[in-house]
């Protein structure tokens, strides 16, 4: 059975059992899929994680009853699978934007209709992209002169807000401070006396007069094409997650790629406190189409670190960095092999595999790593769906694109016995961030007629 047919069976079953508890293991079996396949393929074909889809359909039905019937909110909460009014109201407000009682009297109308895949798949990509990122705009910055201040710090965390505070104090007495725009960008600094320092360059656009403070220098800002997104500045974590989404989800599915100009962040402050930030991602039109190919790979030897849990990525990457630092100084890994990574983020319940993150080295030759402390295995030989791309964060958007390609392809299916991975191939003498190519491989099997 094709994935599209299996997912439609799941959708149809959900539709007739919205008022009941839906067991995903049983649903997967009815759809002729494993639980892992159900999670992955459902999201790939519908654009919604399966649990989110069920919640949205239940809220849509409840919204219809709130508007067109006299049934109590408590009754609707129970029928929607909630044990209390408060838990129902919390989810309803998150999805609809209003509490159930407020929605009952409001003029807006919420609807999330059941998906029919035959009608959806052909045009889903562009529409879904704009729906998921309605706040991302692409603009062109004109070149202009700015006032620059380089902030140095011994620690990276909180560096941006500290730099903003320092600059605000310097320009506080300027007559047109309220009209100034303040930007910032990270700058790599060389080590001094064996110590690592972090740099953050503040750029102030001043349309009226000059900034006489001796700490500022006047320089040209080259401008260019940028994808811009507004985000809350409540915490550095929120800002970092928004950057990750721009890079790994929005960019790969857009018609753009990373530009050669610099990243930037604009600080939006109220009463001297940063409340919001505008993130500026440098982009340019894609020069080539990144197509998906089916390739056959031989078995590959890998030395790796794998960690579980919420901090799996941080711990696994630290282990590999520590291992790398202990290798002989003459080891040239560009000749010996390639860095790779792979990961899995579960749905956080008993039905799904727990979170894990893995990174390591795919070796080309005999390498003396017996005492390294890394684990050893072989990546399985066989067919892979492969896409070559730039380094887009965690590659979430590219993964979704390949998953969808496999899910709608009648010739192939996922191979659950082998693991996906992404290998990194830096260009000699190139910029490690902008010029590195990533080859992402998802294992597949040919469907026999």
Instruction: Quick: pLDDT tens for 189-243.
Output: 887 777 888 999 999 988 666 776 788 888 888 888 899 998 888 888 888 889 9
Q: Based on the domain organization, do 143 and 281 belong to the same domain?
A: yes
Coil, strand or helix at 58:
helix
Q: Based on the domain organization, do 73 and 150 belong to the same domain?
A: no
Mean pLDDT across 28-36: 92
| pLDDT, tens digit, 9 for 90 and up, residues 401-422 | 888 889 888 789 999 999 999 9
Which of 86, 115, 144 is the endpoint of a domain? 115
Q: What is the mean pLDDT of the chain?
A: 83
Q: Based on the domain organization, do 135 and 263 belong to the same domain?
A: yes
pLDDT on residue 405: 86
pLDDT on residue 124: 46
Q: Based on the domain organization, do 390 and 280 belong to the same domain?
A: no
**pLDDT > 90 in the chain, percent:** 30
Q: What is the CA radius of gyration of the chain?
A: 26
DSSP 222: -
Coil, strand or helix at 327:
coil
Q: Is 43 within 8 Å of 50 (Cβ atoms)?
A: yes
Q: Based on the domain organization, do 183 and 254 belong to the same domain?
A: yes
Tell me: pLDDT of 446 over 70: yes
Coil, strand or helix at 244:
helix
Q: Based on the domain organization, do 111 and 124 belong to the same domain?
A: no
Split at pLDDT 50, 70, 90, the class of 163 is very high
Which of 80, 115, 150 is the endpoint of a domain? 115
Q: Please give the residue range of the domain that contains residue 309.
A: 293-446
Q: Based on the domain organization, do 189 and 54 belong to the same domain?
A: no
Which positions ≥6 away from 31 have C-beta within 8 Å? 6, 7, 9, 10, 13, 38
CATH of the domain at 65: 1.10.10.60
Q: Based on the domain organization, do 373 and 252 belong to the same domain?
A: no
Structurally, how many domains does the chain consist of?
3
Q: Based on the domain organization, do 267 and 134 belong to the same domain?
A: yes
CB atoms within 10 A of CB 161: 17
CATH of the domain at 155: 3.20.80.10
| pLDDT, tens digit, 9 for 90 and up, residues 105-125 | 887 778 788 887 765 444 444
Which of 115, 131, 165 is the endpoint of a domain? 115
Q: Based on the domain organization, do 143 and 66 belong to the same domain?
A: no
Q: Based on the domain organization, do 17 and 136 belong to the same domain?
A: no
CB atoms within 10 A of CB 20: 10
Q: Based on the domain organization, do 260 and 363 belong to the same domain?
A: no
């Amino acid at each position: 059975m094709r994935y599209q047919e299996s997912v439609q069976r799941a959708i149809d079953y959900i539709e007739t059992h919205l008022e009941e508890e839906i067991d995903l293991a049983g649903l997967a079996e009815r759809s002729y899929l494993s639980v892992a396949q159900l999670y992955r393929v459902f999201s790939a074909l519908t654009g919604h994680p399966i649990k989110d889809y069920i919640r949205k359909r239940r809220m849509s039905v409840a919204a219809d009853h709130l508007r067109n019937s006299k049934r109590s909110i408590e009754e609707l909460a129970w029928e929607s699978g909630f044990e209390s009014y408060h838990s129902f109201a919390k989810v309803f407000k998150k999805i609809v934007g209003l509490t159930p009682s407020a929605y009952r009297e409001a003029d807006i109308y919420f609807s999330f209709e059941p998906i029919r895949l035959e009608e959806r798949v052909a045009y889903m990509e562009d529409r879904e992209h704009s729906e998921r990122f309605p706040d991302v705009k692409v603009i062109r910055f004109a070149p202009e002169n700015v006032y620059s201040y380089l902030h140095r710090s011994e620690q990276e965390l909180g560096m941006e807000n500290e730099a903003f505070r320092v600059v605000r104090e310097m320009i506080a007495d300027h007559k047109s401070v309220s009209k100034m725009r303040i930007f910032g960008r990270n700058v790599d600094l060389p080590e001094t006396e064996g110590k690592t320092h972090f740099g953050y360059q503040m750029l102030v656009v001043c349309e009226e007069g000059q900034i006489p403070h001796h700490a500022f220098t006047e320089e040209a800002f080259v401008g260019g094409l940028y994808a811009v997104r507004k985000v809350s500045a409540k915490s550095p974590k929120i800002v970092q997650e928004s950057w990750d989404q721009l890079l790994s989800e929005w960019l790969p599915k857009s018609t753009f790629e990373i530009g050669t100009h610099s990243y930037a962040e604009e600080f939006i402050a109220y009463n001297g406190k940063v409340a919001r930030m505008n993130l500026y991602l440098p982009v340019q039109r894609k020069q080539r189409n990144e197509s998906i190919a089916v390739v056959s790979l031989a078995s590959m030897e890998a030395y790796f670190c794998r960690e579980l849990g919420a901090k799996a990525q941080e711990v696994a990457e630290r282990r590999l960095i520590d291992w790398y630092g202990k290798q002989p100084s003459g080891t040239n890994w560009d000749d010996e092999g390639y860095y790779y990574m792979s990961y899995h983020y579960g749905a956080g319940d008993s039905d799904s595999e727990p979170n894990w993150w893995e990174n390591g080295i795919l070796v080309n030759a005999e390498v003396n790593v017996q005492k390294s402390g890394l684990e050893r295995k072989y990546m399985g030989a066989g067919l892979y769906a492969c896409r070559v791309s730039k380094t887009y964060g965690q590659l979430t958007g590219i993964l979704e694109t390949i998953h969808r390609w496999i899910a709608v392809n009648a010739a192939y299916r996922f191979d659950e016995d082998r693991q996906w991975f992404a290998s990194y191939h830096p260009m000699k003498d190139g910029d490690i961030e902008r010029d590195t190519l990533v080859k992402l491989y998802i294992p597949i099997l040919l469907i026999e007629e």
